[in-house]
Amino acid sequence: MNMKRIFFICLVFLATIACVVPGLSTASAPVFAPTVDTGAIETRVAGTVSAAIVQTEQAQPTATATFPATPPPISTTPGPTETPTLVPNTSQSTLIQQSDGSTLFVDDRAGYEATIPAEWLTVRVDGPEYLDAFSLEEAATTNIQQSLLSVQAEDPNTFRLLAIDTQLADIQNDLVTDMRFVLDEQKYISLSSDADLQTIAQGIPASAEVFRFEVTSVEIITSPNGVKFGVIEAKSSFTDPAGTEVPIYQKQVFFNTKSGAQSIIFTTVTDLKQTTLPAFDTMLETISMIEK
């Protein structure tokens, strides 16, 4: 795999986390850190970790936002109980609400589908469900509203989906557990070995001051559906307004699609890892490639 592609993928990863990678051997590839705008990285890190609760005052929905201050009401007309509801959008994907409360995400551009568990709110930034989400009862908390706001400026061709755990018990220290789907079109990660994953990890600069992550593991796994995933796990922490140190756990998964490399980033408070991570791992097992 050429280094230009690895560098591009590394930038996508950097847009998600800023890591320290102790114990990894020195890469023979060029060191990318000097060319990276760490200030921009830190800004996006705050968005990826669901709520920039320790750096700045969180934004609230206001009349100056890019959506109406009072989102349009959601129709109260009940839908069919067995026939799923399809919500297409312009970026070539569809959300299908299932009768069991889960949501089937079909990404026709990338060529795969995944099932998001019930009690997770799923939105695409250019989908009709994004504006509707601000009026939902399960999204009424300030933390979830902030999480929704953090992605409003994302490019829907790259930022494919946001899935938010809306269970109140899973919001801890103002941090919302979520999954973020990012597509790096026309790029490819070799998963015949972990060399590309190690290069991505080693290329992440250690100079970022916000949510400074430390990579804890790099591995390749294969799902029951035969999809090969590259997995990078990392940890970090932040100090909440009460002065308490809050550990964070993050798991980023890469896999190749017909349109490029897809990554899915899961972030939660470490204390909730045992209760929230199974939903993410279960979702990974549902991922399958589609031919259209």
The CA-atom distances, in angstroms, between 47 and each of 38, 52, 119, 182, 230 are 14, 6, 22, 13, 23
Please tell me the number of Cα atoms within 13 Å of 115 on its side-chain side. Answer: 12
Q: What is the pTM of this model?
A: 0.74
The CA-atom distances, in angstroms, between 131 and each of 107, 123, 149, 176, 180 are 20, 9, 10, 19, 18
Q: What is the pLDDT of residues 185-218, one digit of tens each?
A: 978 999 999 999 998 887 664 535 566 788 899 9
Give me the pLDDT at residue 207, please. Answer: 38
Considering the chain, what percentage of its residues have pLDDT values greater than 70? 68
Q: What is the pLDDT of residues 68-85, one digit of tens each?
A: 333 333 333 444 444 567
Asked if 246 contacts 186 with a C-beta cutoff of 8 angstroms, the reply is no
Give me the pLDDT at residue 199, please. Answer: 84
What is the token pair recorded at 136? 């939902």
Q: How far apart are CA 32 and CA 42, in angstroms?
A: 16
CB within 8 Å of 203: residues ≥ 6 apart: 6, 7, 10, 27, 29, 31, 32, 33
Nearest to 161 by CA among 251, 92, 86: 92
Rounding to the nearest 10 degrees, give the CA dihedral for residues 248, 231, 177, 207: 40
Q: Are strands 18-20 and 212-222 parallel, antiparallel or unpaired?
A: parallel
Nearest to 284 by CA among 38, 143, 112, 49: 112
The CA-atom distances, in angstroms, between 36 and each of 15, 30, 93, 205 are 10, 13, 31, 8
The CATH classification number of 3-67+119-281 equals: 3.40.1000.10
Q: How far apart are CA 123 and CA 149, in angstroms?
A: 12
Q: How far apart are CA 225 and CA 222, in angstroms?
A: 8
173 forms bridges with which residues in the sheet? none
Give me the pLDDT at residue 252, please. Answer: 92
Asked if 94 contacts 106 with a C-beta cutoff of 8 angstroms, the reply is yes
**pLDDT means over runs of 10, the chain (292 residues):** 49 42 32 30 38 35 34 39 68 94 96 96 95 94 95 95 96 94 92 91 58 88 95 89 90 95 96 97 97 70
Give me the pLDDT at residue 31, please. Answer: 27
Domain boundaries, the chain: 3-67+119-281
